């Protein structure tokens, strides 16, 4: 039965997937499995509100069982209409080290088929790319991690510590499954550290040469505030001295002119040190000067002029939404702006709010914190993790710089990190900046990534669990 199934998989692949044709006459069984899982998972529209994540989780469970995992080592955790999946790869008897967690997410941002050139929920291979919603974010990682677990299991590999696979089910929206994993179900995923396969990764130049490999070891706190000016208002033919729109506008001008103090950390210094030679020129020199403490004021001015680096130098806040007034011929009774902040790790949301209030210096304005921002500290730059990643990457890209980075937005790592599990976020996808379409139209990933990703994960998982 098993052989028949394998053969039918293979025939299916041969007929439909050129990856298996000409140049590569022999494609390993595990690569076929990864491709099959990618194809099948892209076909499931695991979008918030569609209730499809449990179907994908069941499918992945069946895959793992077919490779020899035990039912009791696989747990599905339902949360509303979605689910998290946890699978434990048991270590050989007598293992004493804490487990390592491998994480990705099964849900995707929705894609409207009428807007895409190809059906987003059918994996399509064309011109050297896989197209489809989730081929990059994050079903690629779900597929290659699952297939790698299956490969190791079917080879009879016995790790010297447990490896835990945890797939969340609503990373793109509420992250309730992630919070359940990090909270109530902590015992299922407790680990010495986590590798979160959803961010960072390999950067290729537009000519296709590898430039660097990034591991996110911290993320800034995402927090939004509203600031509101109110006024009794009245008829616009009878303007009064005070005015809600003017009061708010004056506050926003002050925020525009303000910059939060420069901050730095082990992580940002290492990021600048390694990025400087790759960038070169004025910006590269500024990074070097910043790290060495030479001409620092000038270096900060240069780096702050670049939107891609300003966030590495401290907290940033910017006005993003505005709403005011209620009629063309009435004095405004209220004016509200939303200010979105990316707070440097180690700084609290409340301290940031107090700073904004002091800068604006108008006690009549009302401030509010939106949602419930989650704060997480930076994870330490663990040499053992960086060295293991380097050993897995360098056979493909010798000497490629492996650079720590601070992410500017929220991912599953936020909740694991906040729960005290250090996180290292990386993707085994290597891509050009111009191929980045995650969350957008015609999401794609270059086909060459799949066999390489299988090789990298295989080497990395063995390395960290031996």
402-412 burial, b at 16+ Cβ within 10 Å, e below that, comes to: bbbbbbeebbb
Nearest distance from C-beta of residue 436 to Zn ion, angstroms:
12
CB of 138 to Zn ion, least distance (A): 4
Q: How far is the CB of 139 from Zn ion (least distance, A)?
A: 10
Nearest to 313 by CA among 342, 279, 350: 342
The single-letter DSSP state of residue 115 is G
Binding mask 88-127 for Zn ion (x = CB under 5 A): ----------------------------------------
11's CB contacts (< 8 A; 6+ apart) are none
Q: CB nearer to Zn ion: give 138 or 431.
A: 138
**Closer to Zn ion by Cβ: residue 103 or 124:** 103
From 74-82, 198-206, 343-351, 357-365, span contacting Zn ion (CB under 5 A): 198-206
Exposed (0-12), middle (13-18) or buried (19+): which is 65, by Cβ within 10 Å?
A: middle
Whose CA is closest to 223, among 406, 359, 354, 348? 348
Closest CB 171 distance from Zn ion, rounded Å: 6
CB contact at 8 A, 272 and 285: no
Nearer to Zn ion, 275 or 425 (CB): 425
Residue 28 makes CB contacts below 8 A (sequence gap 6+) with 451, 454
Residue ranges of E strands in 231-333: 234-235, 316-324, 330-331
Q: Write down how long the chain is.
A: 466
Q: How far is C-alpha 58 from the geometric centre of its chain's CA atoms? A: 24
- For residue 430, report the phi and psi dihedrals to the nearest 5 degrees: -110, 125
Shortest reach from residue 438's CB to Zn ion, in Å = 7
Nearer to Zn ion, 137 or 289 (CB): 137
137 or 216, CB closer to Zn ion?
137
Which of 196, 421 has the CB closer to Zn ion?
196
Which of the residues 126 through 165 are near Zn ion (CB under 5 A)? Answer: 137-138
CB closer to Zn ion, 198 vs 443: 198
CA 223, CA 376: separation in Å to the nearest integer?
12
Least distance between Zn ion and beta carbon 426 (Å)? 12
Closest to Zn ion by CB, 407 vs 459, is 407
Which residue number, 138 or 214, has a Cβ lying nearer to Zn ion? 138
**Which one of the spans 48-56, 196-204, 274-282, 360-368 is the region binding Zn ion (CB under 5 A)?**
196-204
* Least distance in angstroms from the C-beta of 411 to Zn ion: 6
| Residue 198 found at the interface with Zn ion (CB under 5 A) | yes
> Which one, 106 or 460, has the nearer CB to Zn ion?
106
Judged by CB under 5 A, the number of residues near Zn ion is 3
Give CA separation, 292 vs 160, 279, 283, 315, in Å. 41, 17, 14, 22
Binding range to Zn ion, per CB under 5 A, among 75-83, 190-198, 294-302, 340-348: 190-198
Q: CB of residue 37 vs Zn ion: minimum separation in angstroms?
A: 17
Min CB(175)–Zn ion separation in Å = 11
How many other CB atoms are there within 10 angstroms of residue 313's CB atom?
A: 21
For Zn ion, which stretch binds (CB under 5 A), given 60-68, 193-201, 374-382, 413-421? 193-201
Looking at the DSSP bridge assignments, the partners of residue 82 are: 79
Task: Give 106 or 218: the residue with its C-beta nearer to Zn ion.
Answer: 106
The distance of closest approach from Cβ of residue 26 to Zn ion in the complex, given in angstroms and rounded to an integer, is 32
Q: Are the beta carbons of 85 and 74 closer than 8 angstroms?
A: yes
From the CB of 414, what's the least distance to Zn ion, in Å?
12
Q: How far is CA 116 from the centre of its chain?
A: 23
| Interacting positions 319-348 with Zn ion (CB under 5 A) | none
DSSP string of 40-109? HHHTS--BTTS--HHHHHHHHHHHHHHTT--GGGEEEEEETTEEEEEEEEPPPTT--SPPEEEEEE--B-
How far is Cα 281 from Cα 302, in angstroms, rounded to an integer? Answer: 11
Contact residues for Zn ion (CB under 5 A)? 137-138, 198
């Amino acid at each position: 039965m098993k052989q028949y199934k394998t053969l039918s998989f293979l025939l299916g692949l041969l007929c439909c997937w050129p990856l298996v044709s000409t140049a590569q006459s022999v494609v390993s069984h595990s690569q076929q499995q990864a491709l099959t899982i990618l194809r099948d998972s892209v076909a499931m529209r695991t979008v918030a509100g569609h209730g499809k994540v449990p179907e994908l989780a069941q499918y992945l469970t069946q895959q793992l069982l077919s490779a020899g995992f035990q039912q009791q080592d696989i747990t599905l955790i339902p949360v509303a209409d979605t689910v998290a999946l946890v699978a434990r790869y048991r270590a050989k008897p007598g293992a004493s080290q804490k487990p390592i967690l491998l994480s990705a997410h099964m849900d995707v941002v929705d894609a409207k088929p009428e807007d895409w050139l190809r059906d987003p929920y059918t994996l399509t291979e064309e011109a050297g790319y896989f197209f489809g919603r989730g081929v990059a974010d994050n079903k690629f990682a779900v597929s290659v991690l699952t297939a790698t677990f299956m490969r190791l299991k079917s080879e009879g590999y016995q790790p010297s510590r447990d490896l835990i696979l945890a797939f969340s089910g609503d990373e793109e929206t509420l992250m309730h499954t992630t919070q359940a994993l990090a909270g109530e179900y902590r015992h299922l995923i407790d680990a010495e550290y986590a590798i979160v396969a959803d961010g960072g990764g390999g950067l290729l130049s537009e000519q296709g040469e590898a430039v660097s490999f990034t591991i996110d070891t911290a993320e800034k706190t995402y927090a939004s505030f509203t600031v509101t000016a109110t006024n009794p208002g009245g008829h616009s033919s009878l303007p009064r001295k005070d005015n809600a729109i003017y009061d708010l506008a004056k506050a926003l001008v002050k925020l525009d002119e303000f910059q939060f103090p420069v901050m730095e950390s082990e992580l940002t210094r290492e990021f600048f040190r390694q990025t400087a030679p790759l960038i070169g020129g004025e910006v590269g020199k500024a990074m070097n000067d910043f790290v060495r403490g030479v001409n620092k004021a000038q270096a900060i001015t240069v780096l702050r002029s670049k939107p891609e680096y300003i966030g590495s130098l401290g907290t940033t806040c910017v006005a993003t939404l505005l709403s005011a007034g209620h009629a063309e011929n009435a004095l405004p009774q209220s004016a509200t702006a939303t200010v979105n902040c990316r707070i440097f790790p180690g700084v609290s949301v409340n301290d940031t709010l107090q700073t904004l209030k002091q800068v604006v210096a108008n006690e009549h304005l009302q401030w509010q914190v939106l949602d419930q921002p989650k704060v997480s500290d930076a994870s330490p730059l663990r040499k053992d993790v960086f060295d293991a990643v380097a050993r897995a990457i360098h056979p493909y890209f010798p000497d490629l710089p492996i650079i720590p980075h601070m992410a500017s937005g929220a991912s599953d790592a936020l909740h694991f990190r906040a729960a005290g599990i250090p996180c290292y976020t990386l993707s085994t996808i290597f891509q050009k900046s111009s191929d980045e379409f995650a969350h957008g139209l015609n999401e794609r990933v270059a086909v060459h990534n799949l066999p390489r990703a299988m090789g990298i994960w295989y080497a990395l998982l063995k390395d960290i669990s031996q």
